[in-house]
Structure 1
């Protein structure tokens, strides 16, 4: 282990969820992260964490299996747990169970919400570079995506956003702004003032706001997550939340859609059969995570914060040509590799010459060229090895 790893690895393996699973154990997994590439490739791409389940989550699932509780989801336990979590974590008492609906997952929930507040003839505004499935899912519904690039500081650019709203209004009568909060891939955590300005701008142009808040629990020390529905002017907005990212429950699908008071009637029009789509075990797991998984989440956030600092140190030592601004939220690192001269898709170079799989920057839309996204939700040792391989890849790709 390098001196940088020793200094920045943070908490012990006993408390840090990111240091409890060996590489050999990870290789036994059959999920996307550990299945797509051959064993000589180090996967640092898709948003899966290299952790074991939080104990309350594992217990809730095994107890459900033991009693044969594997039927269809029902009830409001998930929404109630989310309401309790929001008060404890964000000091926000705005989750009203009667204004929520269970969804199969966040992206499916976004599609269902789009269907009740807009038509395929309408446009959807996104802040690029942004989570690639925003493009895929929206375009699959027949809607047009209108891009509003982030500022050079990776924050919402209100001038760019207003211009995009104006284009969207010309395209259809019920435009939507799909907000990513916290933002993926940059890790930007939007402030209350920024979100209030967004709400005012949206109201002025007749744009409905739908906020993807799946990464909301994953905000680093020193930053504060602000729910979009908590800001003035957001009364006709909607949000999608889930425990899936923060507790690594992507394979146990479930999510909650939340409506502001002026959007409750819209949410009520989502078909009942959609709300039967989540995994019942997923609902049980997510509910347990929100209610009893707080201490595990705190340990995870500590480990992620140490990993962010470790990556910054390693890049400064071995790949100073990569510009890395640690995000305030998520467990994703957005790497600006343009100074390395590796072309529009540096992830392809890291894979070919370094056997390290990162997400391709161009897949995140305009502004992604020359960038790559790295998943930091792993051990310090694997981050160290990934940077070593990436540095070797750059040397190999540029030596001739």
Structure 2
């Protein structure tokens, strides 16, 4: 597959545009959950302005009063073109897509298509906490196949988990996080093909959460699950939400492999009702017209990864942090600091820095914290300074 590599875009680094005063005016979760003296580097919102094409598309719609219900395939067409250009994948067929409200609600709908009440859903912790919550709330049973010590997929653990999941003769699914949140691991084509082979051997259906796909580091390649041999029976959830900071404008797409088209066709019509028309407009504009902004962001995130690694090596060398190859998140192993299972709570109470607590991410989460790199270098530096003071 021929991919478009990162290239200088001429756009300013979006992470350097907004001041702390600007950010404090925001009313969303990241900046309003904690008191004003807390520096928030936790929930997955970035400290960036929107790219001009997205702002223009949404404001033009508002000026027209174009605030009704979504219709059409513009979003899917924009995603297909983005996938072909960025990932060298021309297998995203618009006719095998469906609009869903967001990635996690879409994942729930996909799991309903391929499993029934009480059936097992395999997950690979440490992983995004809603994987556990949503699966449990939809009356499915979580089966765990933890990542290996190298924070990569453990194919042996998956083989065993798949075997156990189908031992009773029922249906089972694997909810794959790709790229992995919180570790930033980018699964290789060989790893994903091995997952597909295991899934086919055991009769397990794969549902891939690929929301962080646009956010890969320089030199890393995102591989769509549906593009690998054996991925034809898979289902994927994709969105511009994370790449362009659009969580408040809800819209996502479910994508089916060629052999899963009949499953996707059974998606209830009401499953799309929660998607926002303005969200669809915003996501379409981001994918179609805001590539240079994304390139500038990716370069800024690469800089922040290097900055964080240097700051930790200098000030908090006891924290182990393998730089992720995707997402804007960093997975901090704080066990050597002796702060207990939830070091994020210590950094919040003593340092007034909000990180995401590790234990909710499942096995491998105790003693860890997740840090959001999607901020300015200045705020990132201040956060590490506060964290250092907190453990003195």
Shorter-chain TM-score bucket reads over 0.9
1:201 alignment partner in structure 2: 198
Distance 2:57 2:132 in 1: 35
The alpha-carbon deviation at position 171 of structure 1 amounts to: 5.2
Distance 2:184 2:250 in 1: 23
Distance 1:170 1:24 in 2: 57
1:29 aligns with 2:34: no
Of 274, 282, 301, the residue aligned with 1:277 is 274
TM-aligned CA distance change 1:275 to 1:14, over 3 Å: closer
The alpha-carbon deviation at position 120 of structure 1 amounts to: 1.5
Distance 2:223 2:209 in 1: 12
1:368 alignment partner in structure 2: 365
Distance 1:207 1:86 in 2: 26
1:143 aligns with 2:140: yes
> How do residues 238-249 of structure 1 correspond to structure 2 at under 5 angstroms?
238-249=235-246
Distance 1:207 1:33 in 2: 37
1:78 aligns with 2:75: yes
Q: Is the 8 A contact 1:122 1:172 kept in 2?
A: no
Of 379, 388, 400, the residue aligned with 2:385 is 388
Q: Is the 8 A contact 1:44 1:375 kept in 2?
A: yes
Of 327, 330, 350, the residue aligned with 2:327 is 330
The alpha-carbon deviation at position 183 of structure 1 amounts to: 0.3
Distance 1:254 1:278 in 2: 5
Q: Is the 8 A contact 2:10 2:296 kept in 1?
A: no
The alpha-carbon deviation at position 12 of structure 1 amounts to: 12
Distance 1:51 1:147 in 2: 35
Distance 1:376 1:318 in 2: 17
> How do residues 110-189 of structure 1 correspond to structure 2 at under 5 angstroms?
110-170=107-167, 173-189=170-186
1:356 alignment partner in structure 2: 353
Distance 1:71 1:14 in 2: 33
2:305 alignment partner in structure 1: 308
The alpha-carbon deviation at position 136 of structure 1 amounts to: 0.6
Of 202, 219, 222, the residue aligned with 1:222 is 219
TM-aligned CA distance change 1:12 to 1:35, over 3 Å: farther
1:341 alignment partner in structure 2: 338
Distance 2:365 2:10 in 1: 35
1:265 aligns with 2:279: no
Distance 1:266 1:353 in 2: 51
The alpha-carbon deviation at position 274 of structure 1 amounts to: 1.4
1:61 alignment partner in structure 2: 58
2:5 alignment partner in structure 1: none
Distance 1:171 1:377 in 2: 44
2:253 alignment partner in structure 1: 256
Distance 2:140 2:278 in 1: 33
TM-score by length of 2: 0.97
Tell me, which stretches of 5 or more residues in structure 1 are unaligned?
1-10, 396-400
User: RMSD between aligned alpha carbons?
Assistant: 1.2
Q: Is the 8 A contact 1:102 1:275 kept in 2?
A: yes
Distance 1:156 1:215 in 2: 17
> How do residues 2-21 of structure 1 correspond to structure 2 at under 5 angstroms?
15-21=12-18
The alpha-carbon deviation at position 323 of structure 1 amounts to: 0.3
- Spell out, residue by residue over 1:99-131, the C-alpha distance to the aligned partner (whole angstroms, 9 max, x if none): 000000000000111111111221000111000
Q: Is the 8 A contact 1:61 1:284 kept in 2?
A: yes
Distance 2:246 2:269 in 1: 24
